[in-house]
Structure 1
């Protein structure tokens, strides 16, 4: 996510929170190579803590962050991608049914759900590309994982976060001249507010950042470069960003675990403000920013 000055979160004032957003419950990746992605996540400090009861799905966790690795493919569905892609973001809300109805009333497209016996029906709307936005209100003492997942024996269900890492935000690639459209989408449906253009985090300066009304999530929209040649204009959720109080210390700890970082590419290099991991066949890239909170 972008760089320079840290914006004063209070400068936005008390944002209205019509959906009752409380943060992110989980990020879901879809992949035909779940072990490969799992290896990447474990090097970042995540641990597999539970398996889905009826599907090829694993839950990884560290601290308050949950990542779902989904390798389940229904018979009629197209092949899963080899390279992991963000398939969904599950948003914590005060009332999932109310949030879902409100989103539909404002023009969101519903995602038909197909659940097995004894599985939860989690409401969802269409996001960018083929991604989904879920609404979850079962958190804390009794969560969605208590219904749909079985704990892995002998595993700590709450592994601590490496370097006090927290989920910071999501990076979304958008098409040419689509900034206004997507800004309006997140503002109208979820109550996100656009930060000033000069407000940036991390080491990547392009794009516009939206802040959630609950103050826990940032959504970065990045358009293709105007002068780019043969640019891929596919719209998608590209990567997730983690916040840490000390980027260099976290990077050092992750390098010791085998994680590689981009050191010189398009002006991107690791520094105190942020870092980006090098994408490879072992998994997608991830971003780290100095926690402004």
Structure 2
């Protein structure tokens, strides 16, 4: 199906919005009136610009407070409409959105509303224009899609149809199945938006918190299925009012928007892109650093051994058990010191995973490699992290470790078994995009978002995981995006946490100190075996429980933008110690700047 996006969904000037929409692969746009009014371009120039970009102008919007008003007010509305229809002729748009009235002058009279909309449609038809009547969820007298359709059906005018908007329908809890009673040819337009499930005034909810399909809590796909059963063949168009999107760069936002529609079309069976290839494990985590010595000291204290070096690049492989960390000291400038720059994901079909990523607009990264290097495909996540699709000991597929030359025998003195999970801090304007990206491109399951109190604001976190938990990525965004501690990334290592913490300290490593008040509270909430709580207090180990089991974890000090976490899951624990995050964050703020990197 054709895809479209309202210019109000993007930031910048009208020209910038049109360019971003075209580059992201949209077929058309809805021109929001305020964007046109603020543009120095004439309607003819906007029309020509859209044509040059390969965009159609699918809708001009909105016309407000038109129907069910006194005769003198309606006369003024007709005068206004004549001007707008002439403007649309110059613009090359043939459909206009008319929102249900919120005017205090409007009366509760469906017959009058139908009669006045029919007269407006007469005028529109003379100009070759169609009117799409939409029920605003906060409309004064018309606030549901079935009520709006009743008025359109009563008017019975060929130039008058309805516009369905997923937000207005789903935010009110209306049953979308009734959409199937509307003839497809009378649905003149379909606007789509998702939203988080919030208990708040619907107008404020709509104006500030809409998001792209798949990023909120609405069943947008279910609504679209009902619409498609009517025979509707118009575009799928996004109309998203969102404060974050309006402050973000238009280009990446438009790509995120287009990706959401591609996933939606796949979900409802309109398209069949390459199927997701769900990763089966973490092959490696790659740290980039201007100084390998502190990283080597940290890994060595944890029991990692430098086992191999890349044949042609300044990259060392450190390993313990199945946990592998690459340390890259290449020439790229790293203003923030050590960073978690890349993740190797075990894949049963690396080429298929790359095809899926490319079909969903994940940027495929160029890779400098020697002819003998393993052919690894990599894409960029929204936060810039490189994701490599890898095979390790998988028959018939190139093993990425073939690029490395052994320098030492592998040993496991620290008892670390594997990478348990990875923590990636997102730019504040990419959080929702990141969740959709990891779910749609990688086929991971996105858990519910968690909001946590940070000493300097609010931390929002959402985990994505594969079915057996062998891939876990915790995505988070902090309230203070310029703060190095809040923005720290981390690698969590599965181990026997008490033994590993003791060995780490004995080797000269420093663990994050946790305030005594935390352990006083822990003693009040849970019972522990003799000496258990004292051990946790001594080593800075935190504790959590859920319905499935227990979780023990502790942290190294932050190095650059990275810290390591030692974790132990018992009895099927599924979380990440979220309730301990405020304590960890406060402790990291306290010791911030102690280490370099």
Q: TM-score category by the smaller chain?
A: 0.7 to 0.9
Matched, 1:290 2:542: no
- After TM superposition, list the pairs within 5 Å mapping 1:29-108 onto structure 2: 29-73=287-331, 78-81=332-335, 83-108=337-362
CA 1:235 to 1:25, structure 2 compared with 1: closer, same or farther past 3 Å?
Answer: farther
Matched, 1:149 2:149: no
Q: Which 5+ residue runs of structure 2 have no aligned equivalent? A: 1-274, 453-458, 520-539, 544-551, 573-597
Q: Which has the higher strand share?
A: 1
Question: Conserved in 2, the CA contact under 8 Å of 1:191 and 1:213?
Answer: no
Q: Which 5+ residue runs of structure 1 have no aligned equivalent? A: 1-16
Match of 1:222 in 2: 476
Question: Conserved in 2, the CA contact under 8 Å of 1:18 and 1:191?
Answer: yes
In 2, the alpha carbon distance for the partners of 1:274 and 1:287 equals 7
Q: Secondary structure of the residue that 1:90 maps to in structure 2? A: strand
In 2, the alpha carbon distance for the partners of 1:45 and 1:98 equals 36
Match of 1:11 in 2: none
In 2, the alpha carbon distance for the partners of 1:235 and 1:21 equals 28
Question: Conserved in 2, the CA contact under 8 Å of 1:247 and 1:271?
Answer: no
The CA deviation at 1:289 is 2.1
Deviations 1:95-120 (A, max 9, x none): 11111011111121110112123122
Match of 1:187 in 2: 439
CA 1:159 to 1:233, structure 2 compared with 1: closer, same or farther past 3 Å?
Answer: closer
Question: Conserved in 2, the CA contact under 8 Å of 1:31 and 1:81?
Answer: no
Structure showing greater radius of gyration is: 2
The CA deviation at 1:92 is 0.6
Question: Conserved in 1, the CA contact under 8 Å of 2:435 and 2:464?
Answer: yes
Deviations 1:116-148 (A, max 9, x none): 2312221000124332000012435773222x1
Q: Secondary structure of the residue that 1:51 maps to in structure 2? A: strand
How does the TM-score come out when normalised to structure 2? Answer: 0.40
Match of 2:5 in 1: none
In 1, the alpha carbon distance for the partners of 2:406 and 2:429 equals 45
CA 1:256 to 1:233, structure 2 compared with 1: closer, same or farther past 3 Å?
Answer: closer
Q: Secondary structure of the residue that 2:299 maps to in structure 1? A: helix
Q: Secondary structure of the residue that 2:367 maps to in structure 1? A: coil
In 2, the alpha carbon distance for the partners of 1:279 and 1:28 equals 16
How does the TM-score come out when normalised to structure 1? Answer: 0.77
Q: Which has the higher helix share?
A: 2
* CA RMSD between the two structures: 3.1
Deviations 1:28-83 (A, max 9, x none): 1111212321121111111011111122111111111111111122xxxx424572
1:242 aligned residue (489, 493, 518): 493
